[in-house]
Structure 1
Amino acid sequence: MFMRYFSRLLSAMAGPRPVVLSGPSGAGKSTLLKKLMQEYDSVFGFSVSHTTRNPRPGEQDGKDYHFVTREAMQAGIDNGEFIESAEFSGNMYGTSKAAVQAVQAKNLICILDIDMQGVKNIKRTDLNPLYISIQPPSIDVLENRLRHRKTESEESLQRRLQIATVDMELSKEPGMFDVQIVNDNLEVAYGQLKHALLEEINVVKKVNMSS
């Protein structure tokens, strides 16, 4: 019943086709997203996720994430306010319907940065996004990147690597993603990302120019 209600609601959402971007932490999603938003700030809108984790240095509430309490987030989930939600490393993450609608209402392509669990949840709705997977060249490269950040305890890092290994395998399943990008070289990966989104970008540009 819940997912049927979602399907009706999401199919009724007006605006450009959203983009789901997924991949393990350290694969470079955030860096690619920032480049995309800087070059096409009038085309893309970032769906700001909710999380119960504490902000990292430099992160802003309402811009990087909506930082909320576990109680508040659980209440929102129970009230049907979220498209998808998941728990990771002891923290909750999720995408609210309001976050997607706020972007689409501006005739912008809504970008959703979510994990594999969220991808599977969205595939059960009528949101019909373009699914793009961003992956590291290898698990060893990913480990080096995560260690270089120095933001994780050893225990947390090992958990991330375990999840990333599963993520990398699941991303290879036929039909899971429309586009697969291996981020070995940032500029090459960004070029591939732009190419994958070019058709959607041009549609939004034409509509905005004529309005």
Structure 2
Amino acid sequence: MAGNLYVVAAPSGAGKTTLVRLLLESELDVQLSVSYTTRDPRPGETDGREYHFVDTAEFRAMIDHHEFLEWAEVHGNFYGTSKTWIADQLAAGRDVLLEIDWQGAQQVRLLFAEAIGIFILPPSMEELTRRLTGRGTDSAAVISRRLAAAQAEMRHVGEFDYVIINDQLEQALDDLRAVVRASRLSLAAQRARHAALFARLI
């Protein structure tokens, strides 16, 4: 695998989407894998940019044809990642980032053991509650379900390589950049990216 595969997961409200967006704006060599989903687009979302929006029947057909690297049902909707696209990008030496949940991360590690897992935590449950409530898009019942799900999701933090606590956004973004840049300097990554140089020097 010449490129790095970053797997970023977090409970709802931890700030994962914002951190990933800011990272991609500053690290142009990292490509976001656009997942497939059966949920409805939110205001401002575009098909093919945030997600590939499909109906449940089409998603199930893709499962039957083994087209997904990973897929999961989250909050009543399906999400999945294209296996072929990921493999092609990595083979070409490109870094790819997956923004998925812990279930998807488990499935990815079965096929890509070298994947770099990054989990984003909120600074407290109180802050997580404030963020989810502040969105103004969900009912109290939905927020309550999301908080319960968040606590269950955070119990899987031990399955990841790096943990970033998103208290101050700029610090959390610096931490995320540090993980990406340091991983590119590992021996395995440098050997893959600069094979000709290694052959000449060593």
Give the TM-score taking structure 1 as reference length.
0.83
Say whether 1:189 aligns with 2:176: no
SS at match of 2:3: coil
Query: C-alpha displacement at 1:201, in angstroms?
Result: 4.5
Between the two proteins, the alignment pairs up a number of residues equal to 191
Q: 2:9 aligns with which of 7, 13, 22?
A: 22
CA distance in 2, matches of 1:140, 1:126: 35
Shift of 1:155: 2.3
Secondary structure of residue in 1 paired with 2:110: coil
Q: Is residue 16 of structure 2 the alignment partner of residue 33 of structure 1? A: no
Which residue of structure 2 aligns with residue 4 of structure 1?
none
Q: Deviations over 1:137-184 (max 9, x none)?
A: 11221111011111222222222111100111221x3xx111001100
Structure-2 separation of matches of 1:99 and 1:60:
20
Partner residue of 1:3?
Answer: none
Structure 1 residues 168 and 140 mapped into 2: Cα distance closer, same or farther (>3 Å)?
same
Which residue type is aligned with residue 177 of structure 2?
A: K
Query: Is residue 2:77 matched to residue 1:77?
Result: no
Backbone CA RMSD of aligned residues? 2.1
Q: Which runs of 5+ in 2 are unaligned?
A: 197-202
Q: 1:3-53 deviations in whole A, cap 9, x for unaligned?
A: xxxxxxxxxxx5402000000111111111111111112x10000011100
Give the Å deviation of 1:207.
Answer: 5.1
Q: Which of residues 78, 84, 89 in structure 1 aligns to 2:75? A: 89
Alpha-carbon distance in 2 for matches of 1:59, 1:102? 26
Query: Following TM superposition, by how much is the alpha carbon of 1:104 offset from its aligned partner in structure 2, in angstroms?
Result: 3.2
Which of these residues, 80, 103, 106, is aligned with residue 117 of structure 1?
103
Separation of aligned partners in 2, 1:153 and 1:103: 40
Residues 170 and 127 from structure 1, CA distance in 2 versus in 1: closer, same or farther, beyond 3 angstroms? closer
CA apart distance, 1:199: 2.8
CA distance in 1, matches of 2:40, 2:160: 30
Structure 2: how far apart are the matches of 1:80 and 1:50?
Answer: 14
Q: Tell me the distance in 2 between the aligned counterparts of 1:45 and 1:82.
A: 18
Tell me the alpha carbon deviations over residues 59-101 of structure 1, each in whole angstroms, 9 at most, x when there is no partner. 1110100100000011101111001111111111111113424
Q: Which amino acid aligns with 1:20?
A: V
C-alpha contact (below 8 Å) 1:16/1:107 kept by paired residues: yes
Unaligned runs of 5+ in 1: 1-13
Change (3 A) 1:105 1:153: farther
User: How many percent identity over aligned positions?
Assistant: 38
**Contact 2:3-2:89 within 8 A present in 1 as well:** no
**1:100 aligned partner:** 86
In 1, Cα distance between the equivalents of 2:102 and 2:165?
16
Once the 2 structures are TM-superposed, how far is the Cα of residue 102 of structure 1 from its aligned partner?
5.4
Which stretches of structure 1, 4 residues or more, deviate above 6 A after TM superposition? none
Q: Which residue of 1 aligns with 2:163?
A: 180
Deviations 1:98-152 (A, max 9, x none): 3424543663210001111111222222352100001111122111101111122
CA radius of gyration, larger in: 2
Task: Please state whether the residue corresponding to 2:59 is helix, strand or coil.
Answer: helix
Query: Equivalent residue for 1:137?
Result: 123
